[in-house]
């Protein structure tokens, strides 16, 4: 019998690492090779815009698994290696440094890349994006001397960096093209809270801002210009206008791609030997629609499902989506998806910075956003997972314990 080729995992982030470790945990004994295009062993990304940037999280704490620990589990790690092509017929991948590797199963965990700012001056020194450890290290170093920080984009990353920069005493301006902050992920009431929160901390928020140019002086960034003719002084600019799924490799190999690599609830692509997980994917739901999620939870749960699929097992990812963001002393925890809600009720007092919004559709709870209310968040996740809904009146009553609904079902 020929020796098994094993499983190749393209992408050494959280999703790729989780596929590898799940395979070992499920008893797979064949070769596993984890291939990453960065020079680092797998590391945690969420602190890059929070604790690491603020100097509170040492770089050593970012590493999820050092190469030596992976080797003990017989997981081969190849860093600084890119994949140029997939030959599905021969079940081979071509590495950019020459070798060709053969696989029995292939997991694509290629992540996403920053959406570029299509303006002249976007490549000036002092203009940054934040996606990788190297990006965060460069921004952290630049913050030591910068005075005027301009953030283009008022999403999670932009606002987390704005908070970090203000804590370092920098003058900060956030330019957001939409009419409100974090418009893609939170409803208007939550956007308003965060606008006020950042204003209280001295951040200059400009909404409906159309950035039209980046102005250089003496070879580096000096200002950001908007369509109304204003210029905002800047010696550090962060561009945070979203990401693009790294799906070109899959598309060139003939896999289905629609804003990401299309997978089912088990992480399977149209090729039985290939799965995908993480930010590079878009999931086809039972009704045929597509859903794209970018989160730690999605990377982990989808990776576990994909690993099971490689072993011929069914493990659909059905848990309620959840997300979080840390800004100043406020932790936002989100459970469920608010799209289509027709009623929102508040639980708690925003003045206390401890409250939740519960979102309903046709009288049924579909999502909950909690600020500094971890109990509401954790209970909300359980309720959503089990299909249990409080009434809007119960949700709005801070004295009503949501957990009693779980106990009643038990």
DSSP 8-state code for residue 234 = -
Asked whether residue 251 falls in the same domain as residue 108, the answer is: yes
Mark which of 277, 310, 343 sits at the end of a domain: 310
- Summarize pLDDT for 144-163 with one digit per residue, the tens: 999 999 999 999 999 999 99
Asked whether residue 236 falls in the same domain as residue 292, the answer is: no
- Summarize pLDDT for 98-141 with one digit per residue, the tens: 789 999 999 999 999 999 999 999 999 999 999 999 999 999 99
| Mean residue pLDDT across the chain | 95
Question: Residue 316 has what pLDDT?
Answer: 96
User: Distance (Å, rounded) from C-alpha 247 to C-alpha 262?
Assistant: 9
**Which CATH number fits the domain that encloses residue 177?**
3.50.50.60
Question: Residue 290 has what pLDDT?
Answer: 95
Check pLDDT > 60 for residue 300.
yes
Least confident of 93-97, 170-174, 197-201, 367-371: 93-97
CB 280 within 8 A of CB 261: yes
Check pLDDT > 70 for residue 3.
no
- Summarize pLDDT for 361-381 with one digit per residue, the tens: 999 999 999 999 999 999 999
Query: Kind and range of the H or E element at 360?
Result: strand 354-361
Asked whether residue 107 falls in the same domain as residue 209, the answer is: no
Classified as helix, coil or strand, 350 is helix
Report if residue 54 sits inside a domain.
yes
Q: How far is CA 183 from CA 180, 189, 194, 348, in A?
A: 6, 10, 11, 23
Structural domain of 36: 7-113+244-310
Phi–psi pair at 207, nearest 5 degrees: -95, 165
Check pLDDT > 50 for residue 1.
no
Question: Residue 368 has what pLDDT?
Answer: 97
Question: Residue 407 has what pLDDT?
Answer: 83
Report H helices in 144-279.
156-167, 188-200, 248-252
User: Distance (Å, rounded) from C-alpha 96 to C-alpha 92?
Assistant: 13
Predicted confidence band of residue 5 (pLDDT cuts 50, 70, 90):
confident
Check pLDDT > 70 for residue 4.
no
Residue 277: closest CA among 254, 258, 251, 296: 296
Check pLDDT > 90 for residue 409.
no
Count of domains forming the chain = 3
Check pLDDT > 80 for residue 342.
yes
**Which CATH number fits the domain that encloses residue 396?**
3.30.390.30
Asked whether residue 44 falls in the same domain as residue 57, the answer is: yes
Predicted confidence band of residue 410 (pLDDT cuts 50, 70, 90):
low
Percent of the chain residues past pLDDT 70, beyond the cut: 99
- Structure token digits, residue 156: 């999670």
Q: What is the pTM of this model?
A: 0.94
Residue 42: closest CA among 74, 61, 69, 17: 17
- Average pLDDT value for residue range 243-261: 98
Report if residue 160 sits inside a domain.
yes
Asked whether residue 249 falls in the same domain as residue 106, the answer is: yes
Residue 237: closest CA among 139, 345, 380: 139
Residue 105: closest CA among 51, 18, 33, 35: 33
Residue 142 β-bridge partners: none
Predicted confidence band of residue 303 (pLDDT cuts 50, 70, 90):
very high
Report if residue 213 sits inside a domain.
yes
Pairing of strands 7-10, 105-108: parallel
């Amino acid at each position: 019998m020929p020796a098994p080729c094993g499983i190749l995992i393209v992408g050494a982030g959280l999703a790729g690492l989780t596929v590898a470790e799940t395979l070992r945990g499920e008893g797979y004994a064949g070769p596993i090779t984890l291939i990453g295009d960065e020079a680092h062993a797998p590391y945690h990304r969420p602190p890059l815009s929070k604790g690491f940037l603020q100097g509170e999280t040492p770089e050593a704490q970012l590493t999820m698994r050092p190469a030596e620990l992976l080797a003990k589990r017989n997981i081969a790690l190849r860093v600084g290696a890119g994949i140029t092509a997939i030959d599905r017929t021969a079940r081979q991948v071509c590495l950019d440094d020459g070798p060709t590797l053969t696989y029995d199963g292939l997991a694509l965990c290629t992540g996403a890349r920053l959406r570029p700012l299509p303006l002249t001056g976007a490549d000036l020194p002092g203009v940054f994006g934040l996606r990788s450890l190297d990006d965060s290290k460069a921004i952290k170093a630049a913050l030591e001397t910068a005075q005027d920080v301009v953030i283009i984009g008022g999403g999670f990353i932009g606002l987390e960096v704005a908070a970090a920069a203000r804590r370092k005493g920098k003058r900060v301006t956030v330019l957001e093209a939409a009419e409100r902050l974090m418009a893609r992920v939170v409803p208007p009431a939550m956007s308003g809270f965060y606008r006020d929160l950042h204003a209280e901390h001295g951040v200059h928020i400009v909404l409906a801002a159309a950035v039209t140019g980046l102005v250089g002086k003496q070879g580096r960034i000096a200002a950001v210009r908007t369509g109304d003719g204003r210029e905002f002084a800047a010696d550090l600019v962060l561009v945070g206008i979203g990401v693009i799924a790294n799906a070109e490799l899959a598309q060139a190999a003939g896999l289905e791609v629609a804003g990401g690599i299309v997978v089912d609830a088990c992480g399977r692509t149209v090729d039985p030997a290939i799965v995908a997980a993480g930010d590079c994917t878009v999931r086809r739901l039972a009704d045929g629609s597509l859903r794209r999620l970018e989160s730690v939870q999605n990377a982990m749960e989808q990776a576990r499902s994909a690993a099971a699929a490689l072993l011929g097992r069914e493990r659909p990812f059905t848990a309620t989506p959840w997300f979080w963001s840390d800004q100043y002393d406020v932790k936002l925890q989100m459970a469920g998806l608010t799209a289509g809600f027709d009623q929102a009720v508040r639980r708690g007092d925003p003045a206390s910075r401890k409250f939740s919004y519960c979102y309903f559709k046709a009288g049924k709870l579909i999502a909950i956003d909690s600020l500094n209310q971890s109990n509401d968040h954790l209970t909300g996740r359980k309720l959503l997972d089990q299909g249990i809904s409080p009434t809007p009146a119960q949700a709005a009553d801070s004295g009503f314990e949501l957990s009693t609904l779980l106990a009643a079902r038990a």
